[in-house]
A and B are shown apart, each in its own frame.
Chain A
């Protein structure tokens, strides 16, 4: 009995050791970016864990000396992400509702089509999409360049799938009551379905926001004028310019990750649970 208990204790100890070491692996790089952003350039490769003084020069540098400005990069990332989230919510919820709750000819074939688009990688679409956008006059330094991004990112197959799944699980009785009161399909959607769909609305919003905020591929191909660049695109471009000037680069990395970190801190439990939820449904 004694030996068995000892064995369990050792096992727990080893498990805890493994967990703590891997959390260091997950955590230290981020800590390092914050720490480096407060160092001076000459201090960087002394590789001290903490800066000698809390030096904010790097933040002043990226706030005042980069073109496009930090404000521009933030604004573009935020503007694009917010518009894309709104488009995803509108198109995802309405289509998800129609596929889940309405009967109309062609419904199942169309839904299979939605699923099939998930199989087509973005990188295959890049060439024909780009040429199409050129022909539409949307590849330019003009603000209509944003439209190209919105058009490409307006709709997500995964959102339609998630909304449909969610609406399928809302009890039919709720609808029946409304139907007796004479509600049509549109009232049913706005009065019954949407008010009950807050968790999935939050899920889709967070996933879409994160996806748009972090995206490098499409912006780096589509956005032409520097004053339309997003943060990840800015990071890509500055990397060549800054070379070894690491503190400002890390300040940019820290600031661009901050919104995602904040969302993560406030909605961490929720994000993990919803990711678990959507994973199960797949």
Chain B
């Protein structure tokens, strides 16, 4: 009996072992290329950034070790302080706006009204076009003689009497707010889709029960729907904030590399661009990049803390 089972058993283990080995090798070779790219260009590169940030690192010539001086220098530059202020102000305003707009659009489109598919498609379209195309179009719309002022005029606003004379993008007091308006509009479509996905995942019986208990629409929204959307809020706000702190495209398109007028469109990423590709101070640029990373990372952790760890995992 024992010999029989052994005899019957042995070839199985052998094929299983060789099959396992074959699976290991296939598995490793299938992930080898992407993992080595990640290891070098995403993870290893972080350590390289830390290394570079501690040097006076030009494109050519000798490098001088500076220690933490690049980091301390950055906070002495008023343009950098302005860039931080702009990036934070931009994020603080654009994130709530795009979230509120995205949520409102999702709630409107989610109602059982005729043509809701058409509206959904229309609202999403601005999120598909390129930032270069949309920002250029936006600059045309916002020029003093452009359509935006024409519409204001139509509604009885006297452009000449406005504090900025209708110079939305070329007045340093309104340039950043104009870009906020632009990006709240373009990103709201994506945010709408995230909310829609979560709305469609909500079990309808909650609302039914609330209805039979006599709750009105507003109460259902306030006490049932919005709390159930908590994972979506977390996702939309976190990704929105990470994106907002990386503002670059719209800033350089509308304000050039200096974030004109008067650095009102200078952002942290645009500042990195200037440090590296106009002044060739790569060590300094790397230091700013790390500061940005620390900022993004700590704000993400703070949000995770604020929303509780369960929202992070995506369950409710």
Contacts and interface: CB of A to CB of B under 8 A. Distances in A.
A33 B138 CA distance: 10
A260 interface: yes
B129 A214 contact: yes
Interface stretch (B2-10, B88-96, B158-166, B286-294): B286-294
Contacts of B27: 98, 102-104, 107, 185
A249 to B, nearest CB: 6
Interface string B113-150: 10111111111111011111110111111010111001
B193 A275 contact: yes
Interface string B239-250: 000100010110
B38 A47 contact: no
Interface residues of A, number: 92
B30 A221 contact: no
A250 B139 CA distance: 11
Nearest to B239: A282
Contact of A98 (B30, B190, B252, B272): B30
A160 to B, nearest CB: 6
A95 interface: yes
A246 B137 CA distance: 9
Contacts of B194: 279
Contact of A47 (B59, B139, B147, B196): B147
Contacts of A260: 128-130
Contact of B292 (A27, A104, A107, A123): A123
Given A132-B45, A216-B132, A232-B133, A18 B33 contact: no
A264 B122 CA distance: 11
Interface in A250-282: 250, 253, 256-257, 260-261, 264, 268-269, 271-272, 275-277, 279-280, 282
Nearest to A107: B27
B38 A256 contact: no
Interface stretch (B172-180, B197-205, B207-215): B197-205
A124 B47 CA distance: 11
Contacts of B198: 279-280
Contacts of A129: 41, 45
A180 interface: no
A23 B123 contact: yes
Contacts of A102: 23, 26-27, 30
A249 B134 CA distance: 12
A32 B140 CA distance: 10
A15 B108 contact: yes
Nearest to B125: A26
Contacts of B293: 120-121, 124
Contacts of A213: 130
A151 interface: yes
B22 A124 contact: no
Contacts of B42: 117, 120, 125
A15 B109 CA distance: 9
B46 A279 contact: no
Contacts of B38: 113-114, 117, 155, 157
Contacts of A275: 124, 190, 193, 197
B56 to A, nearest CB: 14
A254 to B, nearest CB: 8
Contact of B130 (A151, A257, A271): A257
A79 interface: no
Interface stretch (A60-68, A168-176, A195-203, A234-242): A234-242
* A-B complex: 8 closest residue pairs judged by Cβ atoms: A104-B27, A214-B130, A232-B132, A98-B30, A279-B197, A102-B27, A45-B145, A128-B48
Interface of A: 12, 15-16, 18-19, 22-23, 25-27, 29-30, 32-33, 36, 45, 47, 91-92, 94-95, 97-99, 102-105, 107, 110, 113-114, 116-117, 119-132, 134, 151-152, 154-155, 157, 160, 184-186, 189, 210, 213-214, 216-217, 220-221, 231-233, 235-236, 239-240, 246, 249-250, 253, 256-257, 260-261, 264, 268-269, 271-272, 275-277, 279-280, 282
Interface of B: 19-20, 22-24, 26-28, 30-31, 33-35, 37-39, 41-43, 45-46, 48-49, 52, 57, 59, 105, 108-109, 111, 113, 115-126, 128-134, 136-141, 143, 145-147, 150, 185, 189-190, 193-194, 196-198, 200-201, 235, 242, 246, 248-249, 252-253, 256, 268-269, 272-273, 276-277, 282, 285-286, 289-290, 292-293, 296-297, 300, 314
12 contacts: A26-B185, A30-B129, A32-B141, A104-B28, A117-B43, A127-B276, A221-B277, A236-B253, A256-B130, A257-B133, A260-B128, A279-B198
